[in-house]
Amino acid sequence: MTGSLKLDALDRRILRQLQRDARLSNAELAERVGSTAPSVWRRIRLLEEAGVLGPTVRLADQQRLGHGVNMLCNVRMQSFDADAIAAFERFVDGEERIMECFSMSGDWDYLLRVIATDVADYETFLMQRLVKHPSVATASSHLALRVAKYQTAIPVG
C-alpha cells in the first residue's frame, strides 16, 4: 500500500475481482462486490491514481506461443558502479525474452527468468547476448522442468 491510502473491505473485494477478471464491466463488478457502478468506478480511479492498480493487460499462454522453456539465470556483475548497473538494467529491459529480473543479495547479483522456444534458443541468447554484455562477469543457468505454480493475483487480505 502506498502513502496514506487505506484499503477498506470494498476496495479489497474490488481488487480480488479485478485480479481474477479485468474484463468485468463496472455494473458486473458492482454487483459482485455489493456496491453501485459509480462508486466502483470512483474507487478504481482512486486505486489507479494511488498506484495500487497498474495497466490492464491480458495474460498470454507462454506454451501456446511457442516459448516452452523457462530458464532461471543467475548473473554476477563485473562492476557495481552506477553506470554498469544502469547499462545492464537497460539491456534487461530491452530483451523481450527476459520476463522477470530480480536484484539479489548473496552470491549472485541478479536472477532472471528467461523464456525460450527450446534449449538451443536459450543457449544462443545466453552466449550471444547475455554473457557478451560488458557488465556481466558470469552466469549460471537452471532449466525449469515445469511450472508447479504461476500466480498473478496479489493477496489483498
The stretch 56-60 carries a mean pLDDT of 94
Domain with 80 in it: what CATH number?
A: 3.30.70.920
Q: What is the pTM of this model?
A: 0.88
90 and 29 belong to one structural domain? no
Is residue 77 within 8 A of residue 110, CB to CB? The reply is yes
24 and 89 belong to one structural domain? no
Q: What is the pLDDT of residue 157?
A: 82
Distance of alpha carbon 43 from alpha carbon 60, whole angstroms: 27
| pLDDT 10s digits, 82-134 | 999 999 999 999 999 999 999 999 999 999 999 999 999 999 999 999 999 99
Residue 153 lies in a domain: no
Number of other residues whose CB lies within 10 A of the CB of residue 154: 9
Q: What is the mean pLDDT of the chain?
A: 95
9-20 and 26-33 helices, crossing angle to 10°: 130
- Domain holding 29, by residue range, is 9-49
90 and 124 belong to one structural domain? yes
Find where cell 489507479 sits. 48
Q: Which residues contact 126 (CB under 8 A, 6 or more apart)?
A: 73, 139, 141
100 and 134 belong to one structural domain? yes
